[in-house]
Structure 1
Amino acid sequence: MQDLEIYIRDLEPGQVSAWLEVHVDKLDLDDSDTAKVIKGFAVYEGAGLRITLYPGAFGKRFTSLVLEGESLPWNSDLDCARSAWRAMETEIRCSPGDWKEGDPVEDEKWWRLDDRGEKMVVWN
Structure 2
Amino acid sequence: MRQPDIEIYLKDASQQAVTDWLAEAVGPCSPWQQKGKTFKCKAGEIPVTWLPKAVGKWHSLLLESDTTPWEDDIACARAAFAALGVEIRCAPGGWLEEEAEEDADRWISISERGEEEIRWRTD
- Which TM-score bucket, shorter chain as reference? 0.7 to 0.9
**Structure 2 contact 22–43 (Cα < 8 Å) conserved:** no
Aligned length: 116
Which residues of structure 1 form unaligned runs of 5+? none
Kindly report the root-mean-square deviation, in angstroms, between the aligned alpha carbons of the 2 structures. 2.2
* Cα 1:27–1:80 shift into 2, 3 Å: same
Which residues of structure 2 form unaligned runs of 5+? none
CA distance in 2, matches of 1:91, 1:101: 26
Please identify runs of 4+ aligned residues in structure 1 that moved more than 3 A: 102-107
Q: Which has the higher strand share?
A: 1
Counterpart of 1:116 in structure 2 is 113
CA distance in 1, matches of 2:18, 2:31: 9
The alpha-carbon deviation at position 25 of structure 1 amounts to 2.3
The alpha-carbon deviation at position 98 of structure 1 amounts to 4.5
2:79 is aligned, of 67, 71, 83, to 83
Counterpart of 1:27 in structure 2 is 29
CA distance in 2, matches of 1:13, 1:41: 14
The alpha-carbon deviation at position 102 of structure 1 amounts to 4.5
The alpha-carbon deviation at position 26 of structure 1 amounts to 3.1
Q: What is the TM-score with the length of structure 1 in the denominator?
A: 0.81
Aligned residues with identical type, % of pairs: 36
CA distance in 2, matches of 1:90, 1:114: 7
Q: What is the TM-score with the length of structure 2 in the denominator?
A: 0.82
Three-state SS of the structure 2 residue aligned to 1:7 is strand
Q: Which has the higher helix share?
A: 2
